[in-house]
């Protein structure tokens, strides 16, 4: 019978001998840490150039507030993380197995343990305070002159309604490209038609889910800069979730007012005999079953296409709105987006197979020309 009371290296009952050299280990750990930190910083700097969905370049008062807290928690967490890792590296190096070193049989130390219970509590309170203040701030009523918008999530596109800005005081409706004026508070309510989606424009406002059967209130925000910003559905919502994107155009007040005015006017009749005129007929016969163009059609199954010619993108923000892309889209949406053949989904119009085709290639070209002609006056 042998006593196995633990001792130092001289008397361990081990089968293999250690092959790692602890000094090297500690050094390796440290080098790894420096390398990681350096790499992370480098990558962050490099990647933040021109990433349209970055959360680190706030362009509204709301994201600016979040950003301040974000940086604070990152710094706090990094300091804690670094200190603990450094302490760990030191301990591993200092108390590595060495001849003649006897491990101290300590069972605990109440003072120490209370200390390292209290310190995290203090750090967490420091994080909790701005959090609670921020939450309290979100309950404030919108400004009196705030622009009210209802955003509705559909599989897989966004509908935007501006109550009272449409013809005869009704809703002004657009889709996938939200236009808002700079420097004016925007108060958006969120709904969903089918499943849960999430509304998110990283540079302008944090995300809030769009839940069917509920009306959620997005944090109020005031854009501080004119420009175009990327939005994205952030809650998994089915096959084409990845392709449910949108844009937000922050305009000057004059541009915004002009846009609203144009949205309320019927498009100019295309010249008789022109390609656009032919396209308008195709639109009325086919597209109008689902799509609205102000003054032309009224169905709201698919996205509203008023002033479509001025949109930068098509297909819920996934493609540049070039004639080629638009032609591909109208011809066969399923080449671009994983959409099933359900009642509310856009049909396949032209694949070169007479059994399937509803339109000829010429008709597709005509409707593309027509849609591209729907521009601001």
By CB under 8 A, the residues from 21 to 80 that bind another protein are 22, 25, 36, 40, 43-44, 46-56, 63, 65-66, 69-70, 73-74, 77, 80
Contact flag: residue 229 with another protein (CB under 8 A): no
Phi, psi values for residue 309, rounded to 5°: -60, -15
Name beta bridge partners: 153. 158, 192
- The H or E element spanning position 248 is strand 245-251
Smallest gap from Cβ 59 to another protein, in A, equals 13
Rounded CA-CA distance 16/6 in Å is: 17
In this structure, what token pair is assigned to residue 374?
A: 């729907």
CA 101 vs CA 3, 17, 90, 294: distances in Å = 19, 17, 16, 85
**In whole angstroms, how close is the CB of 222 to another protein at the nearest point?**
16
Query: Which of 31, 34, 102, 299 touches another protein (CB under 8 A)?
Result: 102
The site string for another protein over 290-319 (x = CB under 8 A, - otherwise) reads ----------------------------x-
Q: Which is nearer to another protein, 8 or 167 (CB)?
A: 8
Among 23, 239, 344, 358, binds another protein (CB under 8 A): 239
Could you check whether the bond before residue 310 is cis, i.e. omega within 30 degrees of 0? no
Closest CA to 177 of 319, 348, 373: 319
Closer to another protein by CB, 9 or 277: give it.
Answer: 9
- The least distance separating another protein from the CB of residue 34, rounded to whole angstroms, comes to 13
Among 231-239, 249-257, 321-329, 367-375, which window interacts with another protein (CB under 8 A)? Answer: 231-239
Output the smallest distance, CB 93 to another protein, in A.
Answer: 9
Restricted to residues 357-376, the positions that interact with another protein (CB under 8 A) are: none
Binding mask 137-176 for another protein (x = CB under 8 A): -xx---------------x---------------------
Q: Is 290:330 a contact under the CB 8 Å cutoff?
A: no
Measured torsion, CA atoms of residues 241, 314, 320, 273, in degrees rounded to the nearest 10: 160
Binding string to another protein for residues 111 to 130, with x set by CB under 8 A, is what?
-xx--xx--xx--x--xx-x
How far apart CA 230 and CA 318 sit, in angstroms, is 11
Give the C-alpha separation, 368 to 327, whole Å: 6
- Asked if 3 is part of the footprint of another protein (rule: CB under 8 A), the reply reads yes
286 binds another protein (CB under 8 A): no
Residues 206, 353: Cα–Cα separation, whole Å? 46
């Amino acid at each position: 019978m042998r006593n196995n009371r633990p001792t130092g290296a001289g008397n361990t009952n081990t089968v293999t001998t250690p092959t790692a050299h602890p000094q090297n280990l500690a050094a390796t750990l440290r080098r790894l840490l420096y390398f990681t930190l350096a790499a992370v910083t480098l990558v962050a700097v490099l990647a933040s150039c021109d990433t349209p969905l970055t959360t680190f370049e706030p362009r509204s008062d709301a994201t600016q507030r979040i950003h301040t807290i974000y940086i604070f928690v990152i710094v706090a967490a990094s300091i804690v993380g670094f200190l603990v890792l450094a302490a760990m590296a030191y301990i591993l190096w200092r108390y590595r197995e060495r001849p003649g070193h006897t491990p101290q049989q300590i069972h605990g130390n109440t003072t120490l343990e209370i200390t390292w219970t209290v310190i995290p509590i203090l750090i967490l309170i420091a994080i909790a305070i701005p959090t609670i203040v921020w939450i309290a701030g979100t309950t404030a009523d919108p400004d009196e002159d705030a622009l009210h918008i209802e955003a509705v999530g559909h599989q897989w596109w966004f509908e935007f309604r501006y109550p009272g800005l449409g013809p005869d005081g009704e809703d002004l409706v657009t889709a996938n490209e939200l236009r808002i004026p700079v420097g004016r508070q925007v108060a958006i309510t969120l709904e969903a038609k089918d499943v849960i989606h999430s509304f998110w424009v990283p540079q302008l406002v944090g995300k809030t889910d769009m839940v069917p059967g509920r009306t959620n209130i997005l944090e109020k925000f005031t854009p501080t800069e004119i420009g175009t910003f990327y939005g994205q559905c952030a809650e998994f919502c089915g096959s084409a979730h990845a392709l449910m994107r949108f844009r937000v155009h922050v305009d000057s007040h004059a541009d915004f007012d002009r846009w609203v005015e144009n949205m309320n006017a019927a498009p100019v009749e295309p010249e008789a005999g022109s390609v656009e005129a032919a396209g308008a007929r195709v639109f009325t016969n086919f597209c109008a079953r689902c799509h609205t163009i102000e003054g032309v059609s009224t169905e709201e199954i698919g996205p509203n296409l008023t002033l479509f010619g001025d949109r930068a993108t098509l297909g819920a923000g996934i493609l540049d709105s070039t004639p080629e892309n638009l032609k591909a889209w109208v011809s066969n949406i399923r080449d671009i987006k994983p959409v099933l053949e359900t009642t509310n989904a856009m049909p396949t119009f032209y694949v070169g197979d007479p059994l399937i085709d509803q339109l000829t290639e010429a008709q597709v070209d005509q409707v593309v020309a027509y849609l591209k002609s729907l521009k601001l006056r």
